[in-house]
Amino acid sequence: MYQPDSLNLEALDPLLDRTALDGRTQLIPVLLQAQQLYGHLPEAVMARISERLHVPLAEIQSVTDFYSMLYDQPMGTTIIRVCTSPRCQQAGGEDVLRVLCDYLQIRPGETTPDGRYTIEEVPCLCLCDMAPAALVGEKPVGWIDPTAAEEILNFPQPLPLGHVGGEPRWKTARCGTMTPTDLEAYRESGGFQGLRKTLLDFTPAQVITEIKYSGLVGRGGAAFPTGLKWQYTAHASDPVRFLVCNGDESEPGTFKDRVLMEGDPFLVLEGMIIAGYAIGAGRGYIYVRGEYPRAQDILNTAISIARQSGYLGNDILGSGFDFEIELRSGAGAYVCGEETALFESIEGKRGYPRLKPPYPTTEGLFGKPTVINNVETLAAAAWIMSNGADLYRSVGTEKSPGSKLFCLSGDVMQPGVYESPFGISLRELLEIAGGPIGELQTVLLGGAAGAFIRPDQLSLSMSFEGLQEHGLSLGSGVVMAINHQHDLRQTLLSLARFFAHESCGKCYPCQLGTQRQLEIMEKVAEGSATERDMDALRDVGYTMTNASICGLGSTAATAILSALNLWPELFTQHGGDLRGI
């Protein structure tokens, strides 16, 4: 690593020579690679990048300020990111942070005098099934013993994929059972059969018809019909189109996409190629959050192998179809999970959500018609094209056909990803994971943007329509069980901190609302909130829900307001340990 006082700017030239022609669209990849080279992004480095990519220096500095994983000041050789979001907070994440800081004799955000370590308190790492968790450099560490600081720094074994269960194991059949980048094992288990059938037996229009008939809807939370999205883009007048896979999984409680990307990367790529063929795109991007370095490494290897084996590039399988995939890394911004903010990030800008319309199907990435789908959605599409829409519809419900990946975490015997048909009851789902640990206090459904339910609501049908009947959302499939050992006020405070930290600041309802919500929840947590504060909390939540530009702000109050409706006494009772209310 080059030291700030001895910068060798010529070391940047090979990188810039490869990327300069693409200009701003390569800005964030270049910044991330330059940061690896120099340890941070000194102004002289940003100035050289500005000159070669033809991006004003002020804009590069603005982008660097926006993303939490880009640094313009020297950092430690190893950055330790300790998660304190809801599940890790419950499991002792704050204790982990405190013990590490005491051991290294620094505070959060500081670097050790020898320059070896920097410690950061970060929002959710999506290792909720292995809480408490941290990212030590690029090594994910889970099930941390908060008292063993030295063991955290020298975690001996690679963290496993995590438990995967349920039935039918359609999308997750290979996860944990094979080397993820073993192409032969993938093909022997039926991999790329769907792609072969698609390219040789189906026209693009027929693929869209099959996906529409299957009833597949988006698995990222919005649940928009996948086939309809593909159809709109395929019918766009502009012949240049793009396919984007959204792997920016950052929702507290969610980790299913990580399991798919790390456990079966070829399935994700197969779904992307099929979608690209259906909409007439020649290029796809998979955008993976920066906190998933292991998933990025596995996917990059899989992309290279697929290209060498004729599944990417020109004339795929002799079909005449050309398609390429490029992986793009996020740089630490939850808001980039919103589709238009993700486009802005790929284009080398701050991840600000765009106003709609226009919609991505007509004006998306680089202003071109674009399909953007979640990782699980594209994996399901690959499975459907391999096995048929009829079989897919044979499980689930009429309005929610097929299977869903549920992320079970918290106080259950076996946290993990469980694939089950839509319509399974919440009680059955918890039992598949071994059942709750202790007396159940509540369950958070849908993640940070979801809602809490009472323990007497376990008969709920886990389907889109089943939850909608009760004013609930399935979201990304989060099921976080919380027993009476936890003070729910601390969980709510963690949620408020998450949204206040992750608001991009573009619109005032969200920027100011998340901060005000956090201030009130801090008073709730310390037992000093009043009824007037509760009125303000409702007003702030209503304003954010109805006036924010994107889904971050419009759902930032959902879980907290659901708790306020269920347990109003929790918010204004003064003092004492309120575990079990």
Average pLDDT over residues 175-197: 97
How high is the pLDDT of residue 220? 87
Can you tell me which residue has the tokens 């100035």? 47
* Contact in structure between 377 and 218 (CB atoms under 8 Å): yes
Confidence band for 151, pLDDT divided at 50, 70 and 90? confident
Confidence band for 6, pLDDT divided at 50, 70 and 90? low
pLDDT one-digit tens code per residue, 346-394: 999 999 999 999 999 999 999 999 999 999 999 999 999 999 999 999 9
Q: Does 156 score more than 90 pLDDT?
A: no
Dist. CA 468–CA 171, nearest whole Å: 25
| Selection from 495, 514, 515, 379 nearest residue 87 by Cα | 495
Q: Does 13 score more than 50 pLDDT?
A: yes
Confidence band for 146, pLDDT divided at 50, 70 and 90? confident
How high is the pLDDT of residue 67? 98
DSSP of 296-308, one letter per residue? HHHHHHHHHHHHH
How high is the pLDDT of residue 35? 97
The answer to pTM > 0.85 is: yes
* Residue 317 φ/ψ region, left for φ over 0, alpha for ψ in the -120 to 50 degree band, beta for the rest: left
DSSP 8-state symbol, 354: P
Average pLDDT over residues 336-342: 97
* Contact in structure between 161 and 169 (CB atoms under 8 Å): no
pLDDT one-digit tens code per residue, 434-470: 999 999 999 999 999 999 999 999 999 999 999 999 9
How high is the pLDDT of residue 457? 97
* Contact in structure between 101 and 155 (CB atoms under 8 Å): no
Residues 6 or more apart in contact with residue 337 via CB below 8 angstroms: 220, 246, 248, 249, 250, 251
How high is the pLDDT of residue 577? 46
Q: What's the chain's average pLDDT?
A: 95
Q: Give burial (CB, 10 Å; 0-12/13-18/19+) of 125.
A: buried
pLDDT one-digit tens code per residue, 510-534: 999 999 999 999 999 999 999 999 9
Average pLDDT over residues 330-338: 97
Helix (H) or strand (E) holding 83: strand 78-83
410-427: b (≥16 Cβ within 10 Å) or e = bbbeebbbbbbbbbbebe
How high is the pLDDT of residue 3? 44
384-401: b (≥16 Cβ within 10 Å) or e = bbbebbeebbebbbeebb
Dist. CA 247–CA 126, nearest whole Å: 12
Average pLDDT over residues 148-174: 90
DSSP of 438-451, one letter per residue? SSEEEEEESSTTSE
pLDDT one-digit tens code per residue, 221-244: 888 999 999 999 999 999 999 999
Helix (H) or strand (E) holding 199: helix 193-201
Neighbours of 318 (CB within 10 A): 9
Overall size of the chain counted in residues: 581
Dist. CA 335–CA 220, nearest whole Å: 13
pLDDT one-digit tens code per residue, 463-474: 999 999 999 999
| Selection from 490, 498, 572, 503 nearest residue 544 by Cα | 503
How high is the pLDDT of residue 575? 55
Average pLDDT over residues 162-180: 96
Dist. CA 152–CA 548, nearest whole Å: 40
Average pLDDT over residues 64-71: 98
C-alpha atoms less than 13 angstroms from C-alpha of 375 in its C-beta half-sphere: 31
The percent of residues above 90 in pLDDT, for the chain, comes to 93
Confidence band for 579, pLDDT divided at 50, 70 and 90? very low
Q: Does 14 score more than 70 pLDDT?
A: yes
pLDDT one-digit tens code per residue, 71-108: 999 999 999 999 999 999 999 999 999 999 999 999 99
